[in-house]
Amino acid sequence: MLRSPKKSFLHKEVVQVLCSEQFSARLAPIPVKTKLLPLGAFMLAGVSSLAMAQQAAPDPAKNLPTVDVKADADKPDGVRATATRVGKTLQDPQDIPQAITTVTGALMEQQHVGSLKEALRNVSGLSFNAAEGGRSGDNMNLRGFYTFGDLYLDGIRDTAQYNRETFNLEQVDVLRGAGAMLFGRGQAGGVINQVSKTPLRMEQYKFTGSKGTQGFQDATADINKPLNENTAVRVNLMQRDEGSWRSNPVTETQPEIHRKGAAVSLGLNLRTDNQFWINYQRSTTNDNPDYGVSFDAATRAPGKILPPNTFFGSKNNFDQSKTSMTTLINEYRFSADTQLRTQIRDAEYDRTYWAKTPSLTTLPDASGGMGGNQTRASNYKTTTLQSDLSTKFQAFGMKHEALVGFEYLKESSYRSTLQNYGSVTAPVFYPYQPSLAAAANRFTSKSQAVYVQDTVEFIPKWKLTAGVRRDLMDAQYSSTTSPQLKFGENSYRTALSYQPDASAHYYVAKSSSFSPTADLYQLTSQPQPAERSNVVEIGAKWLIADGDLALRAALYRATKYWERNGDLDSTAAILTRKRGTSGLELEAAGRITEDWEVFSGLSFMNAKILEVAENINATTGVVTYGNAGYVGQQARNTPKYTFNVWSTYQVDGKWQVGGGVELKGERQAFNPSGAAAVPTLNGAYQPNTAPSYLRWDAMVKYEYQKWILRLNIKNVFDKIYYDAVYDNGAFVVPATRRSAVVTAEYKF
């Protein structure tokens, strides 16, 4: 049975997101009780006092329309998002002329997701990269293109090399296609924006504890407390420990995960037109990393000479990190249609690791021997200032939605290998002890950007969006061959939309992007053209079942020029000179009936290398080219198809059952920038290839009053499969075998 109209669109969990100060405080038009100047205006104008703000802001009750929110507390719309800031302003994803996938907090909770990587399994067209030293931490491909320059937290760049957790995330928005003028720095695949939890207006407490197979256990707390009518605080805590089905056969040492996190958000002036949030987040990891199994050159497949459960690490290996971020946010509403939103963030990321790479044929010894050693000590600091002014107005008989903004980013980075306190045959490394002999790699960078965009409804139901952004980057490097780089580039975004009614949106869009991310350029021996992307997309979005079910389709062509290498230790900065992906995406999210929910995506990708790499030798200055045999070949780590579905059914008021499927096609691993012969097998082109896989998951939930008990079974059929590929071709990482987790949740 379909839901009645008065129960659709905004339900309990969506209402909480909308009420979250990270999104908006417009749901209740409450009179202003503050006279503070907006933070963005304060910074832009250089005002030294608050004297100019002594006139009281107009009573918003006279300007803001009353929003009639109807919520169904029993059956919230958990997997369909109705609000996002990925377009710089608060919008319904239905209205954005670009493909968007949102992984909601409810979906992550149903699947018992702990890491960002697990959450992104729900995104079609996405694959995972393994990390062999150069680019460790979260590392994904979207539509066949790297995303390490496109990871954001609340709209601010978050591209450090670390593993992200979801305990403090409300949702994850994936804006597909070139980030264009919205984010400036960007690849052709899209932007992954994590949305933090911030204070709600109601009192809310939730505690969870989980226990599972393979040594899994975790605990979380989500505490929201209004202190008065204008002030609230929210605290989120997490601790997670996890083992593995793989082990060193001599010592029985396993890959391990030990992670902790704490986040505090304080909201001030929450029921006024001049709101502030102070957010602090800290997370630590103390893992024993798993670098997988080697590919077999004789078969071009994951090696089978050793058992797949063979782990090459020892108890002395480590992957430790410390991440801390402090963010100040100000949102000032001049009127119902005009607001200025400003953010300042200071972030620091420390990471160190010693990992063992696997051997194809020889079992490890007690020290993990026979495998190679990967070591690193790194420190990365960023300071970001970002301000966006959005407004709606009418001019020349047409409706306008305008956006003007600026951004400043300062980066500093230090990276070194670790000092060996043992011998060549019996190495010993300690955390954060850099090599005394090897030269450290350092860079500092300053980036500035200004941007403007306008969406004009030039005739009823037809809108034209046009935007431009100017990015400048000035970076200094420790390299003697390329001590400085400067770039100045424009990015553009255009779209034509037709919305015959609130339930349908048809669009054609074109966007471009420039990627002035300093760590993508540090190995360029001489200035080379900037990395650029162009994307053309035709799409449609529909709301059916009284708005409870969202459907979308997108057909696109993405092209990247002067693609940089993702491995920071590579000697070739340029990976390919030109390559492209053509694809089709289909997606559904929401309720099919009163009790049946679904979240699903299907993606077909045709990713090809169009022009091979062109690099400059750092010593001789000679131009080198990748082997021409790579032209026309499938791009690495880009499956031709992916499919995912997650569905739940509410059996009665207490019981809910659910399950899902994740399907990915073959993914190739090779280095196209080299001049050596292309990889072959039996006389035909055949690089190392991770096989396709199909994974099944299941869930059962029982809810009684304030308690929830949930059982999650992942990889139900205990399949051995490989989900992360080291794309230069050395090895591939096996995923988790069948596991079961029982979770108890208490909320009030």
Of the listed ranges 49-53, 309-313, 333-337, 633-637, the one predicted with least confidence: 49-53
Q: Look at residue 185 in the predicted model and tell me its pLDDT.
A: 64
Q: Look at residue 652 in the predicted model and tell me its pLDDT.
A: 93
In what side-by-side order are the strands of the sheet with 126-129?
145-146, 140-142, 126-129, 722-725, 731-734, 293-296, 301-302
Token pair recorded at residue 55: 């006139």
- The strand ranges marked E within 565-678 are 574-591, 596-612, 614-616, 623-625, 641-650, 655-664, 667-669
Number of separate domains in the chain? 1
Q: Look at residue 60 in the predicted model and tell me its pLDDT.
A: 37
What is the per-residue pLDDT across 21-77, written as a single tens digit (0 to 9) for each? Answer: 444 433 333 333 334 445 554 433 333 332 333 333 344 333 434 333 333 433 445
pLDDT exceeds 90 at position 732: yes
Give CA 257 to chain center in angstroms.
20
Mean per-residue pLDDT for 4-12?
38
Q: Look at residue 548 in the predicted model and tell me its pLDDT.
A: 94
Domain span at 526: 5-747
Instruction: Give CA–CA dist 209/745, Å, rounded.
Output: 7
The average confidence (pLDDT) of the chain is 87
Of the listed ranges 138-142, 334-338, 417-421, 699-703, the one predicted with least confidence: 138-142
pLDDT exceeds 60 at position 630: yes
Mean per-residue pLDDT for 391-406?
95
Instruction: Give CA–CA dist 94/544, Å, rounded.
Output: 12
pTM of the model: 0.88
Q: Look at residue 620 in the predicted model and tell me its pLDDT.
A: 79
Mean per-residue pLDDT for 341-366?
93
Q: Look at residue 21 in the predicted model and tell me its pLDDT.
A: 42
What is the per-residue pLDDT across 253-263, written as a single tens digit (0 to 9) for each? Answer: 999 999 999 99
Q: Look at residue 150 in the predicted model and tell me its pLDDT.
A: 85
What is the per-residue pLDDT across 431-475, written as a single tens digit (0 to 9) for each? Answer: 999 999 988 889 999 999 999 999 999 999 999 999 999 999 999
Phi, psi of 75 (to 5 degrees): -130, 75
Using DSSP's 3-state secondary structure scheme, residue 15 falls into: helix
What is the per-residue pLDDT across 670-723, written as a single tens digit (0 to 9) for each? Answer: 999 989 999 999 999 999 999 999 999 999 999 999 999 999 999 999 999 999
What is the per-residue pLDDT across 530-548, written as a single tens digit (0 to 9) for each? Answer: 888 999 999 999 999 999 9
Give CA 715 to chain center in angstroms.
23
- Domain harbouring 657, CATH code: 2.40.170.20
DSSP run (H or E) holding 703: strand 693-704
**Type of residue numbered 184:** G
Q: Look at residue 13 in the predicted model and tell me its pLDDT.
A: 39
Q: Look at residue 181 in the predicted model and tell me its pLDDT.
A: 59
